[in-house]
Chains A and B, each alone.
Chain A
Amino acid sequence: MRLVLVGISHHRAPLEVRERLFVDAAGARELAVELAQAGEEAVCLSTCNRTELYLACDHAPAAEERAVASLVALGELTETELTPLLARLSDGAAALHLFRVAAGLDSMVPGEGEILGQVRTAFEGGRPGPLLDRVFRQALHAGKKVRAQTAIAESPASVPSAAATLAQQVFDDLRGKRVLLVGAGRIAELTARNMVDRGAMLSFVANRTLEPAHQLAHRFGGRALGLEEIETELPKADVVVASTGAPGVVLTADQVERATKARRGNPLFLIDLAVPRDLDPRIGELEGCYLYNLDDLETVVSETLAHRRGEAARAEAIVAEEAARFRDWQASLDVVPAILSLRARAEEIRAGELQKVQSSLGRLSDSERRAVESVTSQIVNKLLHLPTIRMKEAAAAPDGVLYADTVRHLFGLAEDGAHTDRLARE
């Protein structure tokens, strides 16, 4: 059984090709079902950065061709266009790649958090058999292990997620916390979305012109305000995200101080993403107010990326260890038929010899007969135990299959697991 991977990713394929080959969870399931109809195991992993088909088959070149044909049809591309962008890997290399993907080591931002869930979704929606089941479960295990044993995914890697993570350092749980956006720009929206994804509510959007504020507030279920209404609504907000294009300060420390008097020590978290700044820096000195600006957050992001690159070496070691385990397991599959036929042969001899002395055993009681059965079975099992272990161990070595061939030759076992007639006659 071979493991085959065919796919595209952000390493080689431009965005327009990745867009054409992207499929949602339902599409990935359909594609896996379609590929599995040829009697193979199939899983389709599709994210914004990659579309990869994992197949387990007996004949790798044919499976690869079917996978390429599926991708060509999916993206409505020609094979000539697609071929230079494709990654084709097999067996240990394909498994290592999947483990790196699950660990976030192949992502644009190392340690990116969503990919592990995406791998799980692909696995659950696919058509795995013994081999893909093993490799995907091990990939999920490797992904979790990397996150647990390294700090690769600990810190936020974007300005919006840094802002939301800092807010969680203040409030713990953002559920039910009210966000006031000052300015309706793209970065403010992304920051708000990140917080909303963590349970916060976008309650107010204040902007110089009301139309963009209305549109944004409508999308999040909040209320649009003019800039002059900010002070009135500020006591109701827990988080303020400011990013207007105003030339000067939009919210002064005096305004915030008046608003926070009614808060009785309840914290107010403020993020200023504007340049020049929208929020008076003196706000940070007020009791219960925590103010961060764009520089603070960008410093966090750059430190995080440097830190993640440092952690990547430890993560790579974990992933390599898992890949080696998979290679050993896959190699052990090659000796399984030899082990099975050896055991079948031994059992046949045992049963045959007992049959020969059946007349002598007739005098034995049922319990004595069971004891004889048990003793002979134990002798066979003990004799075969060590050779079985040794064959499995040797299977991982480059010449491991020679051991299986030697056993077949010594015991007169055929390739398909049946022993030879000659040995049977002896």
Chain B
Amino acid sequence: MAELLFWPALLAYGEACVAYAGNMWRPGTLGRLATWGVRVGWLVQTGLLGLQATRADGFPWDTWADSLNLFVWLVVGIYLVWGCRARYGLLGLAVMPLAVVLLLVAWAGGGTEAGGPSRYSDLFLVLHVGSVLVAFAAFTVAAALAALYLWQERRLKDGSAGSVLRLRAPSLGALDKLSARTIALAFPALTIGIATGLARLASHGGDFDATVVATLVAWVVYATFMVVRYGAGWRGRRAAYLVLLGFALVLLVRLGLPLTHA
């Protein structure tokens, strides 16, 4: 049953990637097809996660591959908030291929199967993992927005007005604002995730491993972003670089260090 939901979701996300790419050359129908691909894929993946939730004994996404499946769903869900607008098609071109690749990795690691016992039955642990995953998914989308900002800024700087207007990307102002808002919403989730994790660490005993340290450094980077963006009014290229730096740490934590974290 899980397989019956996984493949259609992957297919829909894949269709969205192809349609977004085609939409760059001929905007219009392909963009709408891409958006529908994202919507349908996300709904089917929701069904898959629902199935996993009903069949699991406890928190169903406790392995690295399981949580990657949930992470992809969160990333696509956050993208969907404004991804239906035609002008954010280019953002879809950044987010959806990443979603396809990560979903395939999750599948290869057995993260899209249903059933089995869960290691997570502790509420604190569920809150810790859930909050961190939500924050990381939002930071991923924010990084895509920041990357799009830097690309659009380069185009505007190059002075090729014709190409800027031929291939319309979201404006610098919109990208900067959305990226900052996404981080502002995700930052409290990361804080809660870290706080619950540290509380559990204190109660159960244990040491700071590399993942904990990298997550704390990421928190410092995003906290700095919040201060300079909302406190000092900084925006533009430097703010975008800071977002990408934070995302590099998120990637490190998400992909590079899971084996070190119990």
Contact = CB atoms under 8 A, between A and B. Distances in A.
Given A171-B172, A267-B172, A300 B161 contact: yes
B27 interface: yes
Interface residues of A, number: 32
A266 B177 CA distance: 12
Nearest to A286: B157
Interface in B144-202: 152, 156-157, 159-162, 164-166, 168-174, 177
Contact of A170 (B28, B156, B160, B168): B156
Nearest to A148: B28
Given A156-B165, A300-B162, A287 B237 contact: yes
B236 A292 contact: no
A379 B237 CA distance: 76
Contact of B238 (A168, A265, A292, A299): A265
Given A149-B28, A151-B27, A290-B156, A166 B164 contact: yes
Contacts, number: 77
B238 A169 contact: no
A264 B234 contact: yes
Interface string B207-238: 00000000000000000000000001111111
A239 to B, nearest CB: 13
Given A169-B172, A265-B239, A155 B166 contact: yes
Residue of A172, A297, A307 with highest tally of chain B CB at under 10 A: A172
A172 B173 contact: yes
Contacts of A267: 172-173, 236
A155 B165 contact: yes
Interface string A284-310: 100110111000110110011001000
A360 B164 CA distance: 84
Contact of A165 (B157, B165, B239): B165
A173 interface: yes
A299 B165 CA distance: 11
A162 interface: yes
Most chain-A CB neighbours within 10 Å: which of B28, B162, B166, B239?
Answer: B162
A250 B143 CA distance: 39
Counting chain A CB atoms within 10 Å of each CB, which of B27, B159, B161, B235 scores highest? B161
B165 A300 contact: yes
Contacts of B165: 155-156, 162, 165-166, 169, 300, 304
Contacts of A155: 165-166
Contacts of B168: 154, 169
A386 B238 CA distance: 71
A292 B161 contact: yes
A200 to B, nearest CB: 13
Given A151-B27, A264-B234, A287-B236, A170 B172 contact: yes
B173 A170 contact: yes
A172 B171 contact: yes
Given A155-B166, A170-B171, A299 B161 contact: yes
Contact of B162 (A149, A170, A284, A303): A303
Contact of A303 (B28, B166, B170, B177): B166
A265 to B, nearest CB: 3
Contacts of A162: 161, 165
B88 to A, nearest CB: 12
B171 A297 contact: no
Interface in A112-165: 148-149, 151, 154-156, 162, 165
A382 to B, nearest CB: 40
A304 B27 CA distance: 16
A264 B171 contact: no
Nearest to B173: A172
A266 B162 contact: no
Given A149-B28, A172-B170, 13 more contacts: A155-B165, A156-B165, A166-B165, A169-B171, A169-B172, A264-B234, A264-B235, A265-B237, A267-B236, A284-B159, A288-B237, A291-B159, A300-B162
Across the A-B interface, give the 8 residue pairs with the lowest CB-CB distance, nearest first: A265-B236, A172-B173, A172-B171, A172-B174, A296-B161, A171-B173, A265-B235, A300-B161
7 contacts: A149-B28, A155-B166, A169-B164, A264-B232, A267-B172, A287-B236, A290-B157
